[in-house]
Structure 1
Amino acid sequence: MYLYTPDEIDRERAHHQAVIQGAGDLDVKRIGNLGELAFEQFCREYLPVEMWEWENEEAVRRCNPESFSGHDFEVFGYEIDVKTSRDVSAFRPANLLENDPDDDIIVMVWHRDNEDALILLGWERTETLESKVKTQEAYSGEEPEKLAHLAARPMNELHDIGPNTAHLNQKPENPFSSGDRVAKNGDGDGSVAVVVEVLPPEKNTTAYGQEMDGEAVNVAFPNMLDDGPGNWREIHPAKLASYCDDQNIKLYTYKHTNLEYPENPFTPGDYVIKPDYEDPDLAVVLEVTGDSDEDREISIAFCKHLEEEWGEQPYVLPADLRSRCDEAGIKSYSYDYDELSFEHQF
């Protein structure tokens, strides 16, 4: 058995994809998505990457509707469906067959009540399930009330149905995650970008028509995100890929080793606080100036002052914030970038 612990990005994507899918039962669809994420991580760890395919990978990553494929994965040419349940009785042979008789293999994933951990219990061929059900009906009669048969072959036996190949860890190596601020390596004057999605290693073979030796990261630049219809800073980073896809916001692909975390990650429109204050007020960045030793780099205005002037929850395009504040006589304050920290509003 294998334990999978979803992170915050996984949880948000699993839920939002269920919303976009229009699922009748969001809880069931969300946990089903998490089960697929769990099996995808197992495949990446133990199976040759060129011999399996996740049908819903892009739909979940970008929170788009699925194409209603009859199965979730194809592994070694077998069609595999992932069944996720809190109720282990769902993994009895007859129950599995009743719900999904058409796929070659069924993978069983159990989850905790609060969905903070999922366990890959095992897998079974559908034809084996059919045989077990027939045998039980013909010879076994009713099972003892306190002892029910559950179908499951150990997960590590799944690779035995494929060719004898080396099993390599194919998990992404890059350190970045959606929402991270990045800049091009060694470019002191380079623009700060936002990580929108981290591509799986097998998806990054080319960028701009060129073969890429390494893993790719898709980024967007804040000024382009600002041109979208909403305040993207109030969107959870897990949903940025969905937002950019929906709004046709251009993404740029970089090899992850060509990116680094910038010293000064702030851009106009960012929500910040001064963390050394005991009860810091929320502020918004108005302007980011050059790195002159004599000037503080970041100009901010406090949100409470904006609300006093423009009403509650005002949103002004970041490019207009400086001029709008000057016109309204709203006072601004300057700080060094290392005096401030993000106070995200998603």
Structure 2
Amino acid sequence: MYEFTPDEIDRQRAHHQAVKQDADDVSVKRIGNLGEIAFEQFCREYLPAEMWEWKNEDAIRRCNPESFAGHDFEVFGYEVDVKTSRDVAAFHPETLIENDSEDDIVVMVWHRDNEDSLILLGWERIETLESKVETEQQFSGNSPAKLEHLAAQSMNELRDLGPNTANMNQKPENPFQPGDRVEKRGEEDSSVGVVVEVLPPETQIELYGQELDGEGVRVAFPSSLDEGPGDWRDISPALLSSYCDDQDIDLYTYKHENLQYAENPFTVGDYVIKSSHNEPDPATIVEVSNNHVKVIYEKKSGNEIAPNNLIDYCETENFQTYEYLQEDLTRLTHNER
């Protein structure tokens, strides 16, 4: 058995995709999404990446409704469906067959009440489950009332369906996460971008007619994000991909080796506080220059300041601005505002 612990990005995407899917039961759909994410991580660590495919990867990453597919994964040419439940009785052979008998293999994932941990219990062929159900129906005696057999093979035996491969780890080498502020490595005065999507290592991408050799990171620039209908700074980093997809905001793809964390991660419109102040008032950045940042305190203006042309707005309204070194300021996240 294998344990998977979802992070906050996994949780939020799993939930938001269920909402966007207009699921009849959002909680059931959410935990089903988490089960798929758990199995994807297992595949990434133990199965050759070129021999399995997650059908719903794009839909869950961008929180879009899934296109119709009768199964969640293809592994070694087999159609695999992931079943996730808190109730272990859902994994009884007759229950699995009643709910889905069209796939080749079922993977069984059990989750804790608060969904902080998922256990991959095992997998089984549908034909084996059908045989088990048929045998039980023909059994002349009485099955033990308190002992029900779960037909399941251990997870690591899934590798035996494919070619002989050594235990492998195909986890991404890319260090970035959605919401990180980055800039192009080795360029002076490089524009600060916001990481929106981190692509799986095996994703095939072409840049300028050449296939990208390395892991891809998709970045949006604040100037484009500011043109959207909402304040993107109030959106969870986990949902930025969904927001950009909904609003057709341009994304730019880079090899992760060509990016670095921004030395000055602030952009005009960010909300910040002065770290050294006791009970500091929030301020809005109106200008960024090298390692200096100019801000206006929102209480002074009496209304919400638009992100575009902030410095001109302040001059027109005669609002006083204050200048600080970037290291003196802390950016407020969407949860802290």
Smaller-chain TM-score bracket: over 0.9
CA distance in 1, matches of 2:4, 2:218: 25
Greater displacement, 215-224 / 204-213: 204-213
Equivalent position SS for 1:164: coil
Mapped partners of 2:24, 2:282: distance in 1: 38
Residue equivalent to 1:212: 212
Query: Post-superposition shift, 1:236?
Result: 0.8
Structure 2 counterpart SS, 1:319 = coil
Matched, 1:278 2:285: no
Q: Which residue of 1 aligns with 2:299?
A: 304
Secondary structure of the residue aligned to 2:13 is helix
CA, structure 1 residues 204+181, in 2 after alignment: closer, same or farther (shift >3 Å)?
farther
1:341 paired residue among 288, 309, 330? 330
1:325 to 304, 314, 325: 314
1:100 matched residue in structure 2: 100
Residue 289 of structure 1, CA deviation: 1.7
Deviation by residue 1:38-68 (Cα, 9 ceiling, x = unmatched)? 0000000000111101010100011111002
CA distance in 2, matches of 1:255, 1:140: 63
1:2-59 per-position Cα deviation (integer Å, ceiling 9, x unaligned): 1111111111111111111111111001100000000000000000111101010100
Q: Which residue of 2 aligns with 1:226?
A: 226
1:1-346 matches, cutoff 5 A: 1-139=1-139, 141-291=141-291, 297-306=292-301, 309-310=302-303, 314=304, 316=306, 318-346=307-335
Residue identity over aligned pairs, in percent, reads 64
| Distance in 1 between residues matched to 2:140 and 2:165, nearest whole Å | 40
Q: Could you tell me how far apart the structure 2 residues matched to 1:223 and 1:120 are?
A: 43
The AA in structure 2 aligned to 1:335 is Y
Using the alignment, how far apart are the partners of 1:100 and 1:338 within structure 2? Answer: 57
For normalisation by structure 1, the TM-score amounts to 0.93
1:178-231: per-residue Cα shift (whole Å, max 9, x none)?
010000112231000000100101114432321222111010111011111111
1:280 and 1:103 map into 2 onto residues whose CA distance is: 58
The offset of 1:172, in angstroms, is 0.6
Aligned length: 335
| Structure 2 SS opposite 1:41 | helix
Instruction: Say whether the 8 Å CA contact 1:6–1:34 is kept in structure 2.
Output: yes
Distance 1:192 1:175 in 2: 17
SS at match of 1:27: helix
Contact kept, 8 Å, 2:264 with 2:290, in 1: the verdict is: no
Deviations 1:314-338 (A, max 9, x none): 251x122222233333322111001
Further displaced range: 323-332 or 225-234 = 323-332
Contact between 1:268 and 1:288, CA under 8 Å: does it hold in 2? Answer: yes
Structure 1 segments, 4+ long, off by >4 Å, are none
Give the Cα–Cα distance (whole angstroms) in 2 for the partners of residues 225 and 42 of structure 1. 34
Displacement of 1:303 in angstroms is 2.8
Amino acid at match of 1:107: V
- The letter of the residue matching 1:270 is D
Letter in 2 for 1:244: C
Normalised by the size of structure 2, how large is the TM-score? 0.96
Q: Distance in 1 between matches of 2:205 and 2:223?
A: 28
Contact 2:298 2:305 (8 Å CA) reproduced: no
Aligned residues of 1:231 and 1:315 also touching (Cα < 8 A) = no
Alignment CA distance shift 1:235-1:285 (3 Å)? same
Aligned Cα root-mean-square deviation (Å) = 1.4
Query: What is the one-letter code of the residue matched to 1:299?
Result: K
Q: What amino acid is the match of 1:304?
A: K
Partner amino acid, structure 1, of 2:95: N
How far apart, CA to CA, are the structure 2 residues paired with 1:201 and 1:344?
28
